[in-house]
Structure 1
Amino acid sequence: MLTMNDIIRDGHPTLRNVAKEVPLPPSIEDIQILESLLEYVINSQNPEVAEKYGLRPGIGLAAPQINVAKRMIAVHLHDEKGVLHSYALFNPKIKSHSVEKTYILAGEGCLSVDEAIPGYVPRYSRITVQGTSIDGSEVKLRLKGMLAIVFQHEIDHLNGIMFYDHINQNDPFKPIEDAVPIDR
Structure 2
Amino acid sequence: MSVIQRLTKPSHLITMDDIIREGNPTLREVAQEVPLPLSDEHIILGEKMMQFLKNSQDPIMGEKLGLRAGVGLAAPQLDLSLRVIALLVPNMPEEEGEVPEEAYSLQEIMYNPKIVSHSVQEAALSEGEGCLSVDRPVEGYVIRHARITVEYFDKDGQKKRLKLKGYNAIVVQHEIDHINGIMFYDRINPTQPFAMKDGLLIIE
Where on the TM-score scale, by shorter chain, does this alignment land: which range? Answer: over 0.9
Q: Cα RMSD between the aligned structures?
A: 1.0
Letter in 2 for 1:25: P
TM-score by length of 1: 0.97
Matched residue SS, 1:128: strand
Please name the residue that 1:127 is paired with: 148
Please name the residue that 1:68 is paired with: 80
- Which one of the candidate residues 51, 66, 71 is aligned to 2:63? 51
Rounded Cα–Cα distance in structure 2 between residues aligned with 1:130 and 1:18: 18
Gaps of 5+ in 2: 1-12, 95-99
Following TM superposition, the consecutive aligned residue runs of length 4 or more in structure 1 with deviations greater than 4 angstroms are 79-83
Maintained 8 Å contact 1:90/1:133: yes
Rounded Cα–Cα distance in structure 2 between residues aligned with 1:7 and 1:13: 13
Does residue 20 (structure 1) correspond to residue 32 (structure 2)? The answer is: yes
Maintained 8 Å contact 1:121/1:166: yes
Rounded Cα–Cα distance in structure 2 between residues aligned with 1:118 and 1:17: 24
Rounded Cα–Cα distance in structure 1 between residues aligned with 2:91 and 2:121: 19
Please name the residue that 2:190 is paired with: 169
Matched residue SS, 1:74: strand
Please name the residue that 2:5 is paired with: none
Does residue 2 (structure 1) correspond to residue 10 (structure 2)? The answer is: no
Q: Percent identity?
A: 50
Maintained 8 Å contact 1:131/1:138: yes
CA deviation string 1:58-116 (max 9, x = no partner): 00000000001000000001345544110001000001000001100100000000001
Tell me the CA shift for residue 135 of structure 1.
2.2
Please name the residue that 1:105 is paired with: 126
Please name the residue that 2:7 is paired with: none
Gaps of 5+ in 1: none
In our comparison, the structure showing a higher alpha carbon Rg is: 2
